């Protein structure tokens, strides 16, 4: 099928001053769809080229108009006051929301084009979203318990990376930090207060990402936003991290890409117990209920660092990443595309 794909972010490393977390999994998903014979046309601006000066070898197709497509795939965008709600051409304006509105109006509403909406940030929760009632549109969430009416599409991790990961080698890697975290502050203060801040008072640590309100944690070492390519380095230096997520994610078992970014670098993820299905993300030894438990687990991990027991824990975390395996997520998408292709094939035959 020819898929029109809308996303606001980057396929490569992009720029530092951006919250785009999709860089760890977007391009593998796209490449997997291409490998399976689909054609992809990107329908938002080529930010890799415009902002980062990265042409990515001109291997991808971008289109600013209205190309003929068989299906529309949207990484869902929402209103951000002062950024994409301002008039086109205004200082600091981002046109992602305007372009998305144009796309859904032209394709989903007028042409009845089969549409996949990946609500990665849970902005279409509840029955009030009109898109849940459109027969030819399917809403996906990256959660183990998606909202009724939505389906599950998790953030994918490349099968090849899972196959190449060596738990023993990762356990033996020297690490100068006990605790590391890479991610932005958005709605994570409660987890940070309960789990990270107490441990940061006891162990060498650092936090990378956009954290603008940090006054109540003067003892925490905040580095600010890091280049995307530096994320792996932080995890590679850290014995462990904490899987801090917003309450809206924790309640439905939605885990971000941070889990496989960490595990693939041998950084053990501690999961707060209030994350639904936490035991599906990490082994029970890495589930924590309080700051004191985080401190106790980190001290234990220090004692076993580099041992077979450490390697076994990493291996157990790698096994749980099978849930996010790229080939699984592509199969989910192709099932929807195959369903959509039926009526299209009939129409083409009639033509």
59-78 residue pLDDT tens: 899 999 999 999 999 999 99
Q: Across residues 336-351, what is the average pLDDT?
A: 59
Structure confidence at residue 16 (pLDDT): 82
Query: Cα–Cα distances in Å, from 196 out to 84, 107, 233, 310?
Result: 33, 45, 20, 21
The helix/strand count (H/E) of the chain reads as 14, 13
The helix (H) or strand (E) run that includes residue 350 is helix 326-350
β-strand pairing of 61-62 with 222-224: unpaired
Q: Across residues 241-268, what is the average pLDDT?
A: 97
pTM of structure:
0.92
Beta bridge mates, 141: 152
Tell me the angle at which helices 291-304 and 308-320 cross, rounded to the nearest 10 degrees: 120
Beta bridge mates, 206: 180
Backbone angles phi and psi of 320, in degrees to 5? -70, -20
Q: What is the pLDDT of residues 139-173, one digit of tens each?
A: 999 999 999 889 999 999 999 999 999 999 999 99
SS3 167: helix
Q: DSSP letter string over 76-87?
A: -----TTTTSSP
Tell me the angle at which helices 326-350 and 26-35 cross, rounded to the nearest 10 degrees: 50
């Amino acid at each position: 099928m020819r898929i029109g794909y809308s996303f606001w972010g980057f396929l490569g490393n992009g720029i530092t001053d951006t919250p785009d977390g999709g860089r760890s999994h977007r391009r593998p998903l796209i490449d997997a769809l291409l490998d399976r014979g689909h054609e992809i046309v990107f329908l938002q601006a080529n930010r890799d080229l415009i902002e980062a000066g990265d042409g990515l070898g001109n291997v991808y197709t971008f289109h600013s108009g209205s190309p003929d497509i068989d299906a529309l795939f949207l990484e869902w965008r929402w209103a951000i006051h002062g950024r994409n709600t301002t008039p086109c051409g205004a200082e600091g304006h981002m046109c992602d929301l305007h372009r998305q509105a144009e796309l859904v109006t032209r394709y989903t509403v007028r042409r009845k084009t089969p549409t996949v909406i990946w609500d990665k940030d849970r902005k279409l929760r509840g029955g009030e979203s009109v898109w849940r009632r459109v027969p030819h549109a399917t809403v996906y969430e990256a959660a183990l318990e998606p909202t009724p009416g939505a389906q599950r599409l998790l953030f994918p991790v490349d099968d090849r990376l899972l196959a190449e990961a060596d738990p023993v080698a990762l356990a033996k890697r020297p690490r100068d930090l006990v605790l590391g975290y890479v991610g932005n502050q958005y709605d994570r203060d409660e987890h940070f207060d309960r789990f990270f801040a107490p441990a940061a008072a006891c162990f060498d640590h650092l936090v990378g990402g956009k954290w603008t309100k940090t006054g109540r944690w003067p003892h925490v070492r905040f580095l600010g936003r890091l280049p995307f390519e530096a994320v792996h380095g932080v995890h590679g230096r850290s014995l462990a991290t904490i899987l801090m997520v917003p309450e809206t994610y924790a309640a439905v078992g939605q885990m971000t890409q941070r889990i496989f970014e960490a595990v693939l670098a041998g950084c053990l993820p501690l999961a707060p117990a209030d994350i639904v299905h936490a035991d599906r993300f990490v082994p029970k030894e890495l589930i924590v209920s309080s700051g004191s438990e985080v401190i106790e687990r980190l001290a234990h991990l220090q004692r076993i660092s580099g041992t077979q027991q450490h390697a076994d824990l990493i291996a157990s975390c790698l096994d749980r990443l099978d849930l996010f395996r790229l080939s699984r997520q592509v199969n989910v998408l192709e099932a929807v595309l195959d369903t959509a292709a039926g009526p299209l094939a009939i129409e083409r035959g009639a033509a």
